[in-house]
């Protein structure tokens, strides 16, 4: 299960990475200044559409 399913990051070609701890999953962004944008990201000037989602959320 992805954190913040509505986040724009899941469809971004930055590409983000998912950092898992024992209790949470964080979205790490290579472009964002502190690398951990406040979630959910609903708008982002750095967003770049990814062509194919390799891990689409379950319906
Ligand atoms: S560039 Fe913006 S939308 Fe893309 S992963 Fe980083 S924070 Fe999310």
**Residue 19's pLDDT is what?**
94
Residue bearing the CA closest to ligand 1, atom 5? 9
The alpha carbon of residue 18 and the mean position of all alpha carbons in its chain are separated, in whole angstroms, by 7
Q: How confident is the model at residue 6 (pLDDT cuts 50, 70, 90)?
A: very high
Asked if residues 45 and 14 have their Cβ atoms less than 8 Å apart, the reply is no
**Residue 38's pLDDT is what?**
96
Report which of 23, 24, 58, 25 is spatially closest to residue 9, judged by C-alpha positions.
Answer: 25
The alpha carbon of residue 57 and the mean position of all alpha carbons in its chain are separated, in whole angstroms, by 12
The pLDDT of 23-28, averaged and rounded, is 94
| Residue among 13, 46, 50, 53 whose CB has most ligand 1 atoms within 8 A, to mutate | 46
The yes-or-no verdict on residue 58 having pLDDT over 70 is no
């Amino acid at each position: 299960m992805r954190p913040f399913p509505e986040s724009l990051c899941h469809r971004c070609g930055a590409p983000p990475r998912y950092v898992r701890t024992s209790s949470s999953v964080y979205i790490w962004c290579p472009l964002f200044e502190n690398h951990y944008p406040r979630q959910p990201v609903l708008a982002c000037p750095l967003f770049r559409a990814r062509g194919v989602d390799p891990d689409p959320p379950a319906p």
